[in-house]
Amino acid sequence: MFGKINTLNLDIPKTKGFWLSVFARLSRNKLAMTSGLIIVILTLMCIFVPMVSSVAFDKTDWGQIMQTPSGQHWFGTDSLGRDLFVRCFIGGRITFEIAFAAAFVVLLVGIFYGAIAGYVGGKLDTIMMRVVDVLYGIPFLFFCILLITLFGNSMALSFVAIAAISWLDMSRIVRGQTLSIKHKEFVEAAMISGVSNLKIITRHVIPNLLGVVIVYAALTVPNMIVMSAVLSFFGLGVTEPMTSWGLLISDGAQNMQAWWLLLFPAGLMIITLLSFAFLANGLRDALDPR
């Protein structure tokens, strides 16, 4: 935006940028950093474990049914003799895919929708927010079942369903923030300088509400993991032999005597959810220096 100014070769000392100082504060928070590290490691494992593993996630082995965890099968095997370790990470991959993709859409749609409604205000704001209210009134599961009966069961659909419901919250939060930023004097200063409304939104409003949005996004991702798990638990979205954490947990819950079937996927999910919560907490503190 103003990049051209800073690229001039001026003899001026660089000070720490805003995001650098946020990162510096975040890195002092051990819990948040550990959580971030765990998320990164889990994400990498979800990508690479199914790739490098010698057993395919859907390879059934009738000689190895319901094996307890061992050196050969680290997380044990399920009722069809499939290796749970690989299944946990292929399931994680699907879960993360849905959650991150949905979070991305939620951020994009929610921020622009909320910022425009809040900044323009008046009748447009009323109409846009009533639309949100109406959509909010549709029950989530009912909405999913409706989508599936209309378009058939697929993974893409569960992503659409989650994204379609989750952007509502984000747009409300962003609108509220925008309302408070809109009347700040620096926005008025930009108006007096003849800056167009769209530029004010992208240059002044959105950068100033990113802090809240990032925290909320970090809290949204676990929400979506839970949602996709709920959908899978009911048999919507992901179907066998593909799997997700929700499906694995549902499978484990039906075979309680084989404790490992429930413990490992549930444990992974809980670790992920906690990590996101701690990271969000740390981000909130780092973004607000007071």
Partner 1 sequence: MKKILSVKDLKVHFHLGRSWFKSARVVHAVDGVSFDVFEGETLGIVGESGCGKSSLARALCGLNKITSGSALFNETIELATANKAQWNDVHKQVQFIFQDPVAALDPRMTVAEIIAEPLITLYPQMTSSQVMAKVLATMKLVGLSQNQINRYPQEFSGGQCQRIGIARALILEPKVLICDESVSALDVSIKAQIINLLQDLQQQLKLTIIFISHDLGVIKHICKRILVMYLGNIMELGDKQSVYENALHPYTKALLSAVPVANPELEKAKQIQLLEGDLPSPINPPKGCVFNTRCPQATNECRATRPQTKMVANNLVSCVQIH
Nearer to partner 1, 10 or 51 (CB): 10
Nearer to partner 1, 193 or 257 (CB): 193
Residue listed under structure tokens 């109406």: 134
Whole-number minimum distance, CB 120 to partner 1, in Å? Answer: 16
Nearer to partner 1, 44 or 191 (CB): 191
Whole-number minimum distance, CB 191 to partner 1, in Å? Answer: 6
Nearest residue to 111 (alpha-carbon basis) of 181, 58, 24: 181
Alpha helices in the chain (DSSP H): 3-6, 18-27, 30-52, 84-120, 122-136, 140-151, 155-182, 185-192, 197-200, 206-233, 245-254, 259-287
Nearer to partner 1, 142 or 185 (CB): 185
Q: Report the C-alpha gap between 272 and 277 in whole angstroms.
A: 9
Judged by the rule CB under 8 A, the positions of this chain that interact with partner 1 are 1-2, 4-6, 8, 10, 12-15, 18, 184-186, 188-195, 199, 204, 207-208
Contact 236, 145 (CB under 8 A): yes
- Indicate the Cα dihedral angle 97, 102, 107, 112, nearest 10°: 140
Nearer to partner 1, 3 or 152 (CB): 3
State CA 224 to chain mean position distance: 6
Whole-number minimum distance, CB 185 to partner 1, in Å? Answer: 4
Nearer to partner 1, 34 or 208 (CB): 208
Whole-number minimum distance, CB 184 to partner 1, in Å? Answer: 6
CB atoms within 10 A of CB 142: 9
Nearer to partner 1, 14 or 30 (CB): 14
Q: Report the C-alpha gap between 133 and 98 in whole angstroms.
A: 25
Whole-number minimum distance, CB 17 to partner 1, in Å? Answer: 8
Whole-number minimum distance, CB 6 to partner 1, in Å? Answer: 7
The set of residues, in sequence order, having a beta carbon less than 8 Å from that of 79 and lying 6+ positions away, is 65, 66, 255, 258
Whole-number minimum distance, CB 22 to partner 1, in Å? Answer: 11
